Chain A
């Protein structure tokens, strides 16, 4: 396929620890086209962030070790290129923002300086030019009095403002891809909405492709073109947002949807959480990794490792029975949490 911006193919990142091998990412694939948004969804510890950090070669190795797979950025392998070349891509062609804006900015440097840094590094700007550009960027992300706020330190910014500053920093070099690792998780709900709106507006303006990593299906529903659902370091479902939302085909995706609160406050609805805990990645259950928690589990699930299979139109599912017409999602029925 021509025009692919980023292609991740069967990526495996394992951590060799004293207790054994932690298979944090165990065969993840996706493609990202220019200007698109990919939502990566899963519980904590499903390998969402590690996938992104592996791509950027930001995982210290050892203990991490890439056990296989490939990451192609504009057709070039990110995993085999020289460190200098990767540095040239980081913050320049692919930028990242992180979950906790309170700790992701360096406390001893002024906001403006931190935004200017990638411009000086990648664009060869002088300090003065870069600072002027940093002020423009702060204006662009909606910081009032940008010229004076650029001289503030991170502790003088609120959480939402810091995340705006992080976005300004990430977009400073006009990257092709913006990886947002749970960008709204540490923020309160009203600020979350503002940050998501800001990211959408900026994407429209700059044409940057976004990888939105989140545990919240609601966050990606409006903004993603494609969705990748991850569980225990593997992809369990992948498809367009419509396919995943309207024809979800993996019991884990069903579970994620049932555990979303509805906005209908008049109806006495229940939240249906997925029972149990995600498996330890040191010791992933045999067969389908979701089988101990799956309400639809059958005998084969305990022995056969399901492959990602195409259900048509590029909609992939890693459930053994996804193609079975009789295998249907039953109405959410659980002891649940009554609201």
Chain B
């Protein structure tokens, strides 16, 4: 197990280099100039312009910039924002907790509602509840996230005035109220998928021979469901939810933008608009490590859920 985890950490390196190299390359062909954008309408004098480009290292070729970026990164330095002049680490230290909070709220919703709905749907197969779940998940999957977000804002914010539609805190609403609509929006599609996976897995498991064995032992339907069926049916659901958590930790650009949620996704989105490359690189770096780490956690958790999966160094008889 330990060797497996070390191996996985070693695999982080090529993935990291691949993603960041690609990102640096893209910035070179992207139109727009961060220094000019910072100046706004006013024309900079050529001397000031050249000095600023030099100060941010933009006068060097992209591969030199990349090496500098790597060198700074090893010292924990993500650079300085061109647009605001603030340290990138500080920017993300402020914004990451918001992304974390939103991700945890959304994943909790996904687990409770998704698994719950899938479970009910499978147990009450072909009844009203099953149809309701199947139909509503189909609709949710098909709805564009931004449309759902805007509709929620319109209904609960503009019409009913019961929930805030923007930002993470205000004088009028509690922080929790601010979290509700973004969390629902972020969780919507994955909750629908989680419910569908749960339903189909449980139905499949129910026709397995070992379930018949469990009934033949004289176990009650409740014991068979929670003891024998769920433990098998949950394996793919946990995989899905885990990977989804990784995606959510990388900042939900759409959701955060719709709700002006001051998280990583919104920050990166704004930085791209300003061609504020140090912030974009810093954000992607943080997000990349978060995703890789969560994926590793998901893979390790398999071993606990499914005994048939053992890692390379386990001795088998």
Contacts and interface: CB of A to CB of B under 8 A. Distances in A.
Asked if A and B bind, the verdict is yes
Contacts of B305: 108
Given A103-B209, A108-B231, 10 more contacts: A58-B216, A89-B218, A104-B213, A106-B214, A107-B232, A109-B231, A110-B307, A121-B223, A156-B316, A156-B317
Given A107-B307, A108-B231, A91 B218 contact: yes
B217 A121 contact: yes
A110 B308 CA distance: 11
Nearest to B220: A87
B210 A103 contact: yes
A88 B308 contact: no
Interface stretch (A8-16, A93-101, A310-318, A325-333): A93-101
Contacts of B218: 87-92, 118, 121-122
Nearest to B231: A108
A171 interface: no
Nearest to B223: A121
Given A103-B210, A106-B210, A108-B306, A117 B217 contact: yes
Contact of B217 (A100, A118, A152, A153): A118
Contacts of B209: 98, 100, 103-104
Given A153-B307, A155-B307, A155-B308, A105 B210 contact: yes
A169 interface: yes
A136 B219 CA distance: 22
Given A106-B228, A108-B231, A90 B217 contact: yes
B215 interface: yes
A87 B232 CA distance: 23
Interface of B: 208-210, 212-220, 223, 228, 231-232, 305-308, 316-317
A56 interface: yes
21 contacts: A56-B216, A58-B215, A87-B218, A89-B218, A90-B216, A96-B216, A98-B216, A103-B210, A104-B212, A106-B213, A106-B231, A107-B210, A107-B306, A107-B308, A108-B231, A109-B228, A117-B217, A121-B219, A152-B317, A156-B316, A169-B213
Nearest to A107: B308
Contact of A104 (B210, B220, B223, B308): B210
Given A153-B307, A153-B308, A155-B308, A105 B216 contact: no
Nearest to A52: B216
B165 to A, nearest CB: 45
Given A104-B210, A106-B232, A107-B210, A169 B217 contact: yes
A156 B232 CA distance: 17
Given A58-B212, A104-B209, A108-B305, A91 B217 contact: yes
Contacts of B212: 58, 98, 104
Interface residues of A, number: 30
A231 B88 CA distance: 80
Interface string A147-172: 00000110110000000001001000
A155 B309 CA distance: 10
B11 to A, nearest CB: 27
A270 B287 CA distance: 73
Contacts of A92: 218
Nearest to B213: A104
A66 to B, nearest CB: 17
A117 B308 contact: no
A134 B251 CA distance: 51
A109 B210 CA distance: 11
B232 A108 contact: yes
Interface in A10-43: none
The 8 closest A-B pairs by CB, nearest first: A91-B218, A91-B217, A90-B218, A103-B209, A106-B210, A153-B307, A96-B216, A104-B209
Most central of A92, A98, A108 by chain B CB within 10 Å? A108
Interface in A56-98: 56, 58, 87-92, 95-96, 98
Nearest to A101: B209
Nearest to A105: B210
A100 B208 CA distance: 11
Contacts of A121: 217-219, 223
Nearest to A122: B218
A41 to B, nearest CB: 22
A283 B129 CA distance: 36
A156 B219 CA distance: 25
B208 to A, nearest CB: 7
A127 to B, nearest CB: 13
Contacts of A153: 307-308
Contacts of B220: 87
Contacts of B232: 106-108
Contacts of A118: 217-218
B227 to A, nearest CB: 8
Contacts of A58: 212, 215-216
A103 B223 CA distance: 19
Contact of A105 (B213, B215, B223): B213
A89 B215 CA distance: 11
A293 to B, nearest CB: 31
A106 B308 CA distance: 11
A98 B213 contact: yes
Nearest to B228: A106
